[in-house]
């Protein structure tokens, strides 16, 4: 019973978080200096009357709560409005951008967590100074080297000096860069967790029975540390979002990040709002699912 | 501490020198780098005659040498001058951002925790609502709302790191508030503010300083990411992130214009995080052990458990 209540509570919290973030975004978009009409006015030389007329037709002259209520009502029905600059439905634009970002994020996540797990398990099964040094290096790398710096360096080295890879379009370099960054964020905590799990009595028994170190690591140590792996994967998300943003801009990938940034520069509210809403809802959903899974897996929490 | 120091100096005991005396080479190097950057930022006008903003359109993308010790960028600006002045604004903005993060996170957090259950519950519920948004995205949105330029950038950095500071503050506060001497002070009818100021603050100061040293390099990195995305610092106050961002489109013709700020940025963040790690080990040695027991006692959220660990890692 207590577990069900806890799961429902985390669901409710997720909903509240998503709603709050959407409201915050809406408000920030509206207080930003210079709205879309100003930008278009500067570019296209609209007269004052035309600007007033445009504001009225876009509903920008109404009160903020009213505008938000209108927008939220339509958004709940799946209608995110039309882009002001491109005059295309926002939903359509998001649908073309989403797969690019989803692919980049999913591949980077798998590579990153896979690398972190591999390093941590290897260091548990066969402790060595080299592996620990590698783990330290990856961890320091993710702290000190921002993803876009690593991306720029990769372009410089692999594309320009060595001439191996095409600069633009390929997913390989972005996935490697974000993946290593993600791995560095979790690998150290993972290593510590596994180090503790090695001390557990059932692991000692397994070792006393003469099982191989790798078998012990995979079959006995890893399951015991699974809840923490789950929690850590949730933590990577922040780095994943920031990494995708910069990588999409740097490698000219037509994903959500590029779309959002172009919209910010052009003051195209419907796109900013819809894109951030999408990202926020996705993050909250993943966090909530991880949280609920965690509570289901680990009875001590609920 | 004093007793230990004296006994270590006595010749007859033959004890190894106290670990605090030992300064590893990496730490000395890191301190030297940070001091060098600070000095470069402070003395920039005396180190170079060139202005970081003057454009010389006849000397675009020049390789290092001659009048320009580190070459020029795509607008013919002196990379060396920009590097020196950039040290000033990079450090200035990040330091101010960290200070704001602490003023909000630690200041408001400690006050709320001191004044009982409800203020703290409300504050942390509020922080919890924005937690799902990654710091970079939150800062990006704040800049969208506040406008660009050094002021809004600093504020956005501060606000986006405040939740992290608040969580660490809460963890250390709870650990300290559960100690016997704090209970004793409370039973002597000590005022809440008095207890905070006299007993708790001195004992969590080490942990907070450590956290500041860990957040500062992350602030620098976030600032550079925002500048790279084109929403960060204004062109007149060039930060290193801005320099990398500006030159990233000309990486083929002027690799030096991007390598110089990139190497400087990585070295600085590396040095700062090394110092932060060392501070953590020497100022806050009980942290890990104490955290573990505290977490087992009142761990209500799985992500929160891992988050402070990550912050200190």
CB nearest to A146's CB, from B221, B302, B309: B221
Q: Is the pLDDT of residue B289 over 70?
A: no
Residues B313, A189: C-beta atoms closer than 8 Å:
yes
Q: Is the pLDDT of residue B72 over 80?
A: no
How far off is chain B from A286, nearest CA to CA, in Å? 10
- How does pLDDT run across A260-274, given as a tens digit for each residue? 888 888 777 788 888
Closest CA to A176 of A112, A240, A120, A99: A112
| Residues facing residue B65 across a β-bridge | B68
Chain B hits for A189, CB-CB cut-off 8 Å, are 306, 309-310, 313
Q: Which residue of A has its CA nearest to B249?
A: A250
Residues A249, B228: C-beta atoms closer than 8 Å:
yes
Residues B266, A261: C-beta atoms closer than 8 Å:
no
Alpha carbon A25 to its chain centroid, in Å, reads 17
Q: What is the DSSP letter of B223?
A: H
B218 in contact with chain A, both atoms CB, cutoff 8 A: yes
Residues B229, A246: C-beta atoms closer than 8 Å:
yes
ipTM score: 0.81
- What is d(CA B219, CA A31) in angstroms, rounded to the nearest whole number? 25
Residues B259, A156: C-beta atoms closer than 8 Å:
yes
B231 in contact with chain A, both atoms CB, cutoff 8 A: yes
Residues B302, A291: C-beta atoms closer than 8 Å:
yes
Chain A hits for B139, CB-CB cut-off 8 Å, are none
Residues A33, B251: C-beta atoms closer than 8 Å:
no
CB nearest to B303's CB, from A32, A231, A280: A231
Residues B258, A272: C-beta atoms closer than 8 Å:
no
Alpha carbon B301 to its chain centroid, in Å, reads 25
3-state secondary structure of B52: coil
3-state helix, strand, coil in chain A (%, to 5): 80, 0, 20
How far off is chain A from B187, nearest CA to CA, in Å? 33
- How does pLDDT run across B251-274, given as a tens digit for each residue? 777 777 788 888 898 899 889 888
Residues A294, B302: C-beta atoms closer than 8 Å:
yes
| Highest mean pLDDT, choosing among A212-221, B42-51, B227-236 | A212-221
Instruction: Say which residues have a Cβ less than 8 Å from residue A121's Cβ, sequence separation at least 6.
Output: A194, A217, A218, A221, A222
B225 in contact with chain A, both atoms CB, cutoff 8 A: yes
- Helical H segments across chain B, by residue range: 2-9, 25-42, 44-47, 79-102, 109-114, 117-131, 135-146, 150-177, 180-187, 192-195, 201-228, 240-247, 255-283, 287-298, 302-312
- What is d(CA A218, CA B160) in angstroms, rounded to the nearest whole number? 38
Q: Note the pLDDT of residue B99.
A: 94
Chain B hits for A14, CB-CB cut-off 8 Å, are 132
CB nearest to A152's CB, from B134, B217, B251: B251
CB nearest to B258's CB, from A144, A152, A186: A152
Chain B hits for A155, CB-CB cut-off 8 Å, are 251
Of chain B residues 66-85, which have a CB less than 8 A from chain A? none
How far off is chain B from A210, nearest CA to CA, in Å? 31
- What is d(CA A167, CA A248) in angstroms, rounded to the nearest whole number? 12
How far off is chain B from A166, nearest CA to CA, in Å? 13
B244 in contact with chain A, both atoms CB, cutoff 8 A: yes
B306 in contact with chain A, both atoms CB, cutoff 8 A: yes
CA B199-B202-B205 angle, 5° bins? 140
- What is d(CA A24, CA A28) in angstroms, rounded to the nearest whole number? 6
In total, the C-beta contacts within 8 angstroms joining chain A to chain B are 153
Residue B188's CB: how many other CB atoms inside 10 A? 8
B258 in contact with chain A, both atoms CB, cutoff 8 A: yes
The pair of structure tokens assigned to A297 is: 């897996």
CB nearest to B144's CB, from A29, A283, A295: A29
Chain A hits for B305, CB-CB cut-off 8 Å, are 231
> C-alpha dihedral over A189, A195, A196, A197, to 10 degrees?
110
| pTM score, whole prediction | 0.80
Quick one: pLDDT band at residue B161, thresholds 50, 70, 90?
very high
Quick one: pLDDT band at residue B290, thresholds 50, 70, 90?
very low
Q: Note the pLDDT of residue B155.
A: 92
Tens-digit pLDDT profile for chain A (302 aa)? 677 787 788 888 888 888 888 888 888 877 766 666 776 666 666 777 777 777 777 767 677 777 777 777 777 777 777 777 777 888 888 888 889 888 899 999 999 989 998 998 888 888 888 988 899 889 888 888 888 888 888 888 877 777 776 655 578 888 989 999 989 888 888 888 888 888 888 888 888 888 888 888 888 888 777 777 777 777 788 778 888 888 888 888 888 888 888 888 877 778 888 888 888 888 888 888 887 777 777 666 65
Residues A149, B262: C-beta atoms closer than 8 Å:
yes
| Residues facing residue A89 across a β-bridge | A82
């Amino acid at each position: 019973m207590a577990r069900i209540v806890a799961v429902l509570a985390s669901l409710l919290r997720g909903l509240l978080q998503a709603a709050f973030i959407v409201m915050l975004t809406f408000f920030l978009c509206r207080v930003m200096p210079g709205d879309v009409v100003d930008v278009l006015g500067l570019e296209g030389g609209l007269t004052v009357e035309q600007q007033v007329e445009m504001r009225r037709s876009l509903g920008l002259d109404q009160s903020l709560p009213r505008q938000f209520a209108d927008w939220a009502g339509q958004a709940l029905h799946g209608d995110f409005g039309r882009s002001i600059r491109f005059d295309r439905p926002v939903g359509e634009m998001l649908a073309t951008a989403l797969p690019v970002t989803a692919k980049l994020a999913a591949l980077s996540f798998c590579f990153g967590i896979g690398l972190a797990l591999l390093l941590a398990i290897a260091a548990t099964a066969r402790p060595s100074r080299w592996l620990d040094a590698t783990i330290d290096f990856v961890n320091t790398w993710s702290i000190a080297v921002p993803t876009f710096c690593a991306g720029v360096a990769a372009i410089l080295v692999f594309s320009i000096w060595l001439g191996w890879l095409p600069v633009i379009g390929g997913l390989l370099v972005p996935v490697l860069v974000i993946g290593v960054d993600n791995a560095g964020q979790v690998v150290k905590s993972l290593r510590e967790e596994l180090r503790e799990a090695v001390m557990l009595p059932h692991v000692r028994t397994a070792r006393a029975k003469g099982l191989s170190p790798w078998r012990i690591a995979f079959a006995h140590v890893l399951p015991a540390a699974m809840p923490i792996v789950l929690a850590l994967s949730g933590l990577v998300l922040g780095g994943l979002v920031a990494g995708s943003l910069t990588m999409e801009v740097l490698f000219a990938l037509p994903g959500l990040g590029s779309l959002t940034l172009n919209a910010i520069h052009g003051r195209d509210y419907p796109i900013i709002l819809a894109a951030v809403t999408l990202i926020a809802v996705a993050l909250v959903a993943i966090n909530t699912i991880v949280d609920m899974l965690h509570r289901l897996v680990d009875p001590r929490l609920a | 501490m004093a007793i230990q120091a004296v006994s270590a100096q006595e010749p007859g005991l033959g004890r190894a020198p106290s670990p605090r005396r030992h300064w590893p080479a990496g730490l000395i190097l890191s301190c030297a780098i940070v001091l060098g950057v600070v000095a470069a930022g402070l003395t920039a006008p005396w180190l170079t005659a060139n202005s970081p903003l003057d454009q010389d359109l006849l000397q675009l993308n020049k390789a290092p040498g001659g009048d320009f010790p580190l070459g020029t960028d795509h607008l013919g600006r002196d990379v060396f001058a920009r590097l020196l002045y950039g040290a000033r604004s990079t450090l200035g903005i990040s330091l101010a951002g960290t200070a704001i993060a602490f003023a909000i996170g630690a200041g408001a957090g400690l006050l709320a925790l001191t004044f009982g259950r409800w203020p703290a519950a409300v504050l942390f519920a509020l922080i919890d609502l924005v937690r799902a948004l990654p710091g970079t995205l939150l800062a990006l949105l704040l800049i969208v709302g506040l406008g660009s330029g050094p002021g809004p950038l600093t504020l956005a950095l501060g606000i986006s790191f405040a939740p992290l500071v608040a969580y660490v503050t809460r963890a250390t506060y709870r650990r300290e508030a559960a100690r016997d001497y704090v209970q004793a002070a409370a039973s002597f009818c000590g005022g809440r503010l008095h207890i905070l100021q006299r007993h708790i603050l001195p004992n969590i100061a080490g942990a907070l300083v450590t956290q500041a040293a860990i957040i500062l390099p992350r602030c620098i990195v976030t600032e550079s990411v925002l500048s790279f995305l084109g929403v960060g610092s204004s062109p007149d106050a060039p930060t290193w992130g801005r320099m990398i961002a500006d030159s990233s489109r000309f990486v083929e013709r002027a690799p030096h214009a991007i390598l110089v700020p990139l190497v400087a940025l990585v070295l600085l963040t590396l040095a700062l995080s090394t110092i932060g790690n060392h501070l953590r080990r020497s100022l806050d040695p009980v942290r890990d052990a104490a955290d573990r027991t505290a977490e087992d006692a009142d761990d209500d959220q799985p992500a929160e458990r891992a988050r402070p660990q990550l912050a200190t890692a």
